[in-house]
Amino acid sequence: MIVTLDSRPENLGVGYRLDARFFTGEKQNALVLPRSAVMQATGEQSYVLTVEHGELVRHDVTVGLENDLQVEIASGLDEHATVLAYPDPSLSAGTKVKPRLADGP
């Protein structure tokens, strides 16, 4: 992508970098998760792992808008679900877990 500035700042010289963010879509009241929480199965199906009654449960989800840090969950997940934000790839549905606070034992 090529970007052209409308005016050149006085202190802009050789070797300067421009960091830009481009918005291609926007939604109000979207269910958003960290990108790290959404995994992909072999067949390209996206899913998340939630904790329900001390056990991991897999939920196939439909992804909507996304950026480098966040993903919109368009369907397949209740907004009150307890989702693993950084699941270890070795974890799977049915694994027994015991939630704890980040600062706790």
Query: How many structural domains comprise the chain?
Result: 1
Integer-rounded Cα Rg, in Å, for the chain is 20
| Residue of 33, 26, 13 whose CA lies nearest to 79 | 33
Arithmetic mean of pLDDT, 11-40? 86
pLDDT in tens, 68-81: 899 999 999 999 99
1 occurs within a structural domain: no
Contacts of residue 9, Cβ cutoff 8 Å, sequence gap at least 6: none
Residue 71: how many other CB atoms lie within 10 Å: 22
**Residue 6 covered by a domain:** no
Q: Which residue has the tokens 């960290």?
A: 34
**53: DSSP letter:** T
Evaluate whether residue 39 is within a structural domain: yes
DSSP character at residue 35 = G
Q: Which domain does 73 fall in, by range? A: 27-105
Q: Is the pTM of this model over 0.85?
A: no
pLDDT in tens, 29-83: 999 999 999 999 888 899 999 999 999 999 999 999 998 899 999 999 999 999 9
> Residue 93 maps to which CATH number?
2.40.420.20
CA distance 57 to 19: 39
Distance, in Å, from the CA atom of 28 to the CA atom of 8, rounded to the nearest integer, reads: 35
Query: Looking at residue 11, what is its pLDDT?
Result: 80
Q: Is 65 contained in some domain?
A: yes
Mean pLDDT across the chain: 88
pLDDT at 70: 93
Question: Does residue 101 lie in a domain region?
Answer: yes
